[in-house]
Amino acid sequence: FLSLVAEFCCGFFVILILGNFWFLAVLYLLWLYLDWETPCTGGRRSQWVRSWTVWKYFREYFPIHLIKTSDLNPNHNYLLGFHPHGVLVAGAFGNFCTGPSFKNLFPGLTPYLHIMPIWFGCPFFREYIMSAGMVSASKESVSYVLNKEGGGHASIIVIGGAEESLNAHPGSLTLNILKRKGFIKMALKHGAHLVPVFSFGENELFKQVANPKGSWLRNVQEKLQKIMGFALPLFHARGVFQYSFGLIPYRQPIHTVVGSPIPVKRNLNPTTEEIEQLHALYLQKLRKLFEEHKRNYGIPEHKSLIFE
């Protein structure tokens, strides 16, 4: 969905350049130059955009639900680790960028969904995603949010990243997390409490072409991901009037469960051992969150998370 909107915005920009409105394109490029750092300094959200009626229908289509398991004290800052990536990351967008659910469940907290910096280089599209509350996933951007004094700010990071989207098959419970420890270091440096978040149903929205590790398709996808910075999963779902084939996601319920916070003391220079210990604790809490709620959302008792 984001890719389609981004392509439309880029196409519109090209039309401005090639048409009789090139001067508007020049003015926008000047604006882009002056505004370049905004995605790394908290963005520019618009409550009007975040409250569009279309997002209500978007959330109700699946439907998307946000489940609270514990209070989050607004006197602290938080780093929420979102799992899994899926293809669409619908749960993250629907719960943290649109609607009143997060605000109602966690009063006093402002959510910032961090996404790949590459998206903010797209003309016009960057304004749209910032207005929805999205900011860059760069270290500078995460530090800006977590470093705000007085608390009340929450960075949401999709830990598995683009690489994990290649595992987004229905029923898949594989998370790319064992080597991802940068978010742990950021939490320690800023004293941000860690909160595991698991979105049940995220991998059920699309069917992906079989791409087991070691296959030629997976090798090509991984090489392209390293070159471009984002993955290209080959997926399909339903059409507008039929369920056989199309790019519209299946109507599968998404339940995004926000776990209990893991208290983190500020440590400007954490050792490797301290990072490893907190990472192990986070994995333990994430697994516990999944095990406590899986039976509520149709996951068989014998299935568990797989960490890679």
| Contact partners, residue 104, CB within 8 Å, separation at least 6 | none
The predicted pLDDT at position 245 comes to 86
What local confidence, expressed as pLDDT, does residue 88 receive? 87
Q: Are strands 110-115 and 207-208 parallel, antiparallel or unpaired?
A: unpaired
- Contact (CB, 8 A) for 92 and 113: yes
Range of the domain at 303: 40-307
216 shares its domain with 91: yes
The residue written with tokens 């619908």 in the block is: 90
Question: Bridge-partner residues for 74, per DSSP?
Answer: none
The helix (H) or strand (E) run that includes residue 135 is strand 134-136
Here the CATH number for the domain that contains residue 226 is 3.40.1130
Alpha-carbon distances of 299 from 8, 55, 158, 195, 291, rounded to whole Å: 38, 28, 21, 22, 9
Same domain, 22 and 120: no
Q: Are residues 146 and 21 in the same domain?
A: no
Question: Is the domain of 76 the same as that of 217?
Answer: yes
Distance, CA of 216 to CA of 211 (rounded, Å): 8
Q: How much is the pLDDT for 139?
A: 96
- 288/150 same-domain check: yes
pLDDT in tens, the chain (308 residues): 555 555 556 666 666 676 777 677 788 889 889 999 999 999 999 999 999 999 999 999 999 999 999 999 999 999 999 999 999 899 999 999 998 999 999 999 999 999 999 889 888 889 999 999 999 999 999 999 999 999 999 999 999 998 899 999 999 999 999 999 999 999 999 999 999 999 999 999 999 999 999 999 999 988 888 877 777 888 889 988 888 888 899 999 999 999 999 999 999 999 999 999 999 999 999 999 999 999 999 999 999 999 99
Q: Are both 21 and 98 inside the same structural domain? A: no
Helix (H) / strand (E) element for 200: namely strand 193-200
pTM above 0.85, yes or no: yes
**Strands of 78-83's sheet, edge to edge?**
64-68, 254-258, 193-200, 78-83, 153-158, 110-115, 134-136
Rg (CA), the chain: 20
Integer Cα distance of 150 and 163 in angstroms: 35
- Say if residue 172 is in the same domain as residue 121: yes
Same domain, 29 and 176: no
Residues 30 and 175 in one domain: no
Q: Which residues contact 23 (CB under 8 A, 6 or more apart)?
A: none
Same-domain pairing of 47 and 31: no
Q: Which amino acid is located at 143 in the chain?
A: S
Residue 20 and residue 135 in one domain: no
* 211 and 226 co-located in one domain: yes
- Of the candidates 143, 70, 83, 90, the one whose C-alpha atom is nearest the C-alpha of residue 283 is 83
Q: How many domains would you assign to the chain?
A: 2
Q: What would the two tokens of residue 260 be? A: 């209990």
pLDDT at 18: 67
